[in-house]
Amino acid sequence: MRGLRNAAALAAAAVAVTGALTSSPASAGAAPEKPGARPAVSASATTLVFDKNRSAPLKSKLSVYKGGKLLYTYRAGSGVGSTDDCASGRGWMPNGTWRIQLKSRKYNGKKIKGYAVWLQDMPCSKGTTKRKEMFIHSEMKRDGNQAGRRGLESQRWDGDRDYASNGCVKLSPPAIRNLFRHLDRLGWPTHLRVVS
């Protein structure tokens, strides 16, 4: 029963985000809508939802919806096991709607390489810390391949412990490649919705 409720809640979140993110640009500066009025929802909008697992943050899920219908789900981690979203560098990602700033298959950051989706900076739930340099990423070299056994650990996926991050959403290398392939085909969303 709990699984059905969680699935229904995720679908509702995807539909809500789809509606919020696909309302017409003309309505952005318009007068507030009447209470209970719903924005227009595009049946073809692609939505990305990260559902944090409170009991096991490194076993959370990143899901892709199209027009409110669940298409793909990937195992993902965030943080090092801490559910404190204000703990910069170790706590999981704060709930909210994160704007996608950039997506790249050859990102070349100091710590993050290869396939990466860079997200806007956002405050944590208490407003005490601004979470910066947040991404959806994996562990790989800039070219998207894995480092060898003698290469840098941060560029080589070694298993379950690699779902840990500094707070970013972290996927396995095959999962992030698959995500990019599907979103290229479906159309990229403009935001990531984070829920728990």
Q: Cα 70 to chain center, whole Å?
A: 15
Cite the active site residues. Answer: 137, 168
Query: 65: alpha, beta or left, given left = phi > 0 and alpha = psi -120 to 50?
Result: beta
Task: Classify the C-alpha dihedral 98-196-16-35 as positive or negative.
Answer: negative
CB-CB contact of 55 with 32 (8 Å): no
Residue 52: name the closest of 167, 140, 135, 160 by CA.
167
Q: Which residues of 4-40 are buried (b: 16+ CB within 10 A; e: fewer)?
A: eeeeeebbebbbbbbbebbbeeeeeeeeeeeeeeeee
Which residues pair with residue 113 across a beta bridge? 108
Q: How far is CA 15 from CA 48, 49, 65, 124, 178, in A?
A: 11, 11, 9, 24, 23
Task: Say how far apart CA 68 and CA 20 lie, in whole Å.
Answer: 12
